């Protein structure tokens, strides 16, 4: 037993050496990433080698150090996992291992950039170039690609962006489904005696003015291009990564009722050949978001009630994110994408597929936001835990109260029968439909929110 324990300790040390990361004292210490371990037969086994991140980082402030350490630790674990996959003997290709590792490292590096900048230091430049790793087998430093071909060391795996090039892949033909083959959905919550059955609408246009940017003031405040993909905006005019509660309250609005809230979501693009003016810019073609941005045909912003109880007012400047822009990498726990086609809304809403709509039907994106609030906070560290979804019966979790639920529906003309479109996404998310999401900051004047709550609780339809 003691001998086995010693062997396990030795193995753990070897894996940590492969990871190439030591977090010591109050700072960040560096060792080389990637090391080759010997196989039982004496030959050098294939191992992942990744460029060092730590030596490219500026001085990390105390406020950002814990977050940066956490992401560096995750990157260490990802390298260990990649080595384990290579050593598993299960026929995995170097290409698939490196592709998965690139996706995770790219996301972690972006989080590090944001954390460093939030901590008061200059945003690190070109960290994304460190997302690409190689496989070394002791004889060459070349990446072994699928099918026996070889790529030069440092060359991106399939799906990763090359030097100045958009990422290959995404969406794939498997990401589309004929909506007419989707079964009907007859599930509907029954309203109780105390239900709040009214609705309230804000009419805020369709962003015909082309008010775009690739910031995200909720997730990355104070950061330019914090989303790495482009958003449509309606409601408050001029919202970007540097918007504050004060500037939001004083903004002009595209809404007809004085609603100064900001509503934003990833743009949809026609990827069939026509390029947009941002073809070589951040948030656009430089990060794989190619094609002409499509202006929605309609945008419906409807607030609905709760099937079991009355709703209470949202606090001003409440921030809500629904869905997950990195759902395909994060496991899908927060995914909330919903696609359908007009005239076929009785079908099951698609969560991980784009619909192919029939002639005469419009593509529709539906975003249903969280409808329960903790009664205290307008935001939280993960931008999620201060709000929650009610269960199927409409019951909020303990400690949460029901609030008006924003249901956003965005439709598009001209896509019947098409598979040539996709939402904007982070580069590593490959435009997958499951990554669709929506963002909302409530900036309704108090009197307007009071009117909305009254309409909903008394069963009226307003706006």
390 and 243 in one domain? yes
283-307 pLDDT, tens digit per residue, is 999 899 999 999 999 999 999 999 9
Q: What pLDDT was estimated at residue 81?
A: 86
Q: For 415-419, which contacts have Cβ atoms below 8 Å and span 24 or more sequence positions?
A: 415/357, 415/362, 415/363, 416/357, 416/358, 416/359, 416/360, 416/361, 417/356, 417/357, 417/358, 417/359, 418/272, 418/356, 418/357, 419/173, 419/176, 419/354, 419/356
Q: What pLDDT was estimated at residue 302?
A: 98
Q: What pLDDT was estimated at residue 130?
A: 81
Q: Which residue has the higher pLDDT, 319 or 3?
A: 319
Q: What pLDDT was estimated at residue 117?
A: 80
293 and 364 in one domain? yes
Q: Could you tell me if residue 158 is inside a domain?
A: no
d(CA 301, CA 290): 27
Q: Could you tell me if residue 115 is inside a domain?
A: yes
| Mean pLDDT along residues 117-136 | 77
d(CA 107, CA 71): 9
Q: Is 456 helix (H, G, I), strand (E, B) or coil?
A: helix
Q: What pLDDT was estimated at residue 282?
A: 92
Q: Could you tell me if residue 156 is inside a domain?
A: no
Total domain count, the chain: 2
Q: Which residues does 218 contact at the CB level (< 8 Å), separation at least 6?
A: 319, 321, 379, 383, 439, 441
415 and 279 in one domain? yes
Q: What pLDDT was estimated at residue 278?
A: 95
**Residue 260 pLDDT > 90:** yes
313-353 pLDDT, tens digit per residue, is 999 999 999 999 999 888 899 999 999 999 999 999 999 99
Q: Could you tell me if residue 100 is inside a domain?
A: yes
Q: What pLDDT was estimated at residue 15?
A: 35
**Residue 39 pLDDT > 80:** no
Q: What pLDDT was estimated at residue 154?
A: 38
Average pLDDT, the chain: 83
Q: Is 326 helix (H, G, I), strand (E, B) or coil?
A: coil
Q: Could you tell me if residue 168 is inside a domain?
A: no
Q: Could you tell me if residue 82 is inside a domain?
A: yes
361 and 276 in one domain? yes
> To the nearest whole percent, how much of the chain has pLDDT over 90?
57
Q: Which strands, in side-by-side order, build the sheet including 387-388?
A: 387-388, 372-373, 401-402
Q: Could you tell me if residue 416 is inside a domain?
A: yes
Q: What pLDDT was estimated at residue 225?
A: 95
Q: Which residue has the higher pLDDT, 13 or 177?
A: 177
d(CA 444, CA 368): 19
180 and 146 in one domain? no
| Chain mean position to CA 51 | 25
Q: What pLDDT was estimated at residue 227?
A: 95
Q: Could you tell me if residue 353 is inside a domain?
A: yes
In which domain, by residue range, is 6 found? 2-151
199 and 125 in one domain? no
362 and 228 in one domain? yes
List the one residue out of 220, 162, 451, 366 whose CA is nearest residue 229: 220
> To the nearest whole percent, how much of the chain has pLDDT over 70?
80
Q: Which residue has the higher pLDDT, 56 or 197?
A: 197
State both tokens at 336: 């909330």
Q: What pLDDT was estimated at residue 187?
A: 64
- Of the pLDDT bands very low, low, confident and very high (cuts 50, 70, 90), residue 90 is low
259 and 144 in one domain? no
184 and 116 in one domain? no
393-450 pLDDT, tens digit per residue, is 999 999 999 999 999 999 999 999 999 999 999 988 999 999 999 999 999 999 999 9
Most confident of the following: 146-155, 192-201, 241-250: 241-250
d(CA 137, CA 166): 29
247 and 131 in one domain? no
139-196 pLDDT, tens digit per residue, is 433 333 333 333 333 344 444 443 333 334 478 889 999 999 999 986 666 777 889 9
Q: Which residues does 189 contact at the CB level (< 8 Å), separation at least 6?
A: 307, 392, 393, 394
Q: What pLDDT was estimated at residue 142?
A: 34
Q: What pLDDT was estimated at residue 132?
A: 78
13 and 80 in one domain? yes
183 and 133 in one domain? no
| Mean pLDDT along residues 229-244 | 98
d(CA 174, CA 419): 10
| pTM recorded for the entire structure | 0.67
């Amino acid at each position: 037993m003691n001998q086995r324990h010693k062997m396990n300790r030795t193995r753990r040390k070897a894996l940590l050496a492969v990871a190439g990361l030591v977090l010591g004292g109050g700072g960040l210490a560096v060792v080389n990433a990637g090391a080759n371990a010997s196989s039982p037969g004496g030959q050098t086994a294939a191992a992942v080698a990744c460029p060092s991140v730590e030596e490219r980082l500026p001085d990390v402030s105390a406020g950002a150090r814990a977050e940066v350490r956490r992401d560096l630790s995750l990157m260490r674990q990802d390298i260990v996992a990649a080595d384990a996959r290579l050593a598993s003997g299960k026929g995995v290709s170097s290409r698939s291992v490196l592709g998965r590792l690139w996706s995770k490292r790219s996301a972690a590096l972006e989080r590090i950039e944001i954390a460093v900048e939030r901590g008061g230091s200059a945003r690190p430049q070109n960290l994304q170039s460190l997302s690409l790793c190689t496989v070394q087998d002791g004889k060459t430093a070349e990446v072994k690609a699928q099918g026996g071909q070889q790529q030069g060391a440092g060359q991106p795996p399939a799906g990763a962006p090359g030097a100045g090039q958009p990422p290959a892949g995404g969406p794939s033909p498997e990401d589309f489904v004929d909506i007419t083959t989707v079964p009907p959905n007859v599930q509907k919550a029954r309203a109780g005696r105390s239900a709040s059955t009214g609705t309230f609408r804000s009419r805020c246009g369709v962003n015909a003015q082309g008010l775009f940017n690739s910031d995200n003031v909720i997730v990355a405040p104070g950061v330019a291009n914090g989303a790495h993909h482009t958003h449509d905006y309606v409601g408050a005019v001029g919202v970007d990564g540097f918007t504050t509660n004060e500037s939001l309250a004083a903004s002009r609005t595209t809404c007809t009722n004085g609603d100064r809230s900001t509503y934003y979501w990833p743009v949809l693009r026609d990827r069939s050949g026509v390029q947009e003016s941002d073809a070589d810019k951040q948030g656009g073609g430089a990060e794989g978001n190619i094609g002409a941005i499509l202006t929605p045909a309609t945008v419906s912003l409807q607030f609905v009630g709760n099937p079991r109880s009355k709703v209470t007012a949202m606090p001003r400047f409440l921030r809500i994110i629904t869905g997950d822009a990195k759902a395909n990498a994060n496991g899908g726990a927060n995914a909330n994408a919903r696609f359908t086609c007009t005239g076929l809304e009785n079908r099951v809403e698609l969560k991980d597929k784009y619909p192919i709509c029939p002639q005469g039907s419009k593509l529709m994106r539906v975003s249903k936001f969280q409808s329960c609030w903790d009664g205290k906070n307008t935001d939280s560290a993960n931008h999620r835990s201060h709000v929650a979804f009610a269960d199927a019966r409409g019951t909020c979790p303990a400690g949460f109260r029901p609030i008006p639920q924003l249901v956003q529906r965005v439709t598009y003309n001209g896509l019947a029968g098409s598979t040539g479109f996709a939402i904007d996404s982070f580069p590593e998310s490959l435009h997958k439909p499951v990554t669709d999401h929506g963002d909302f900051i409530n900036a309704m004047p108090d009197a307007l929110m009071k009117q909305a709550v009254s309409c909903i609780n008394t069963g009226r339809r307003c706006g």
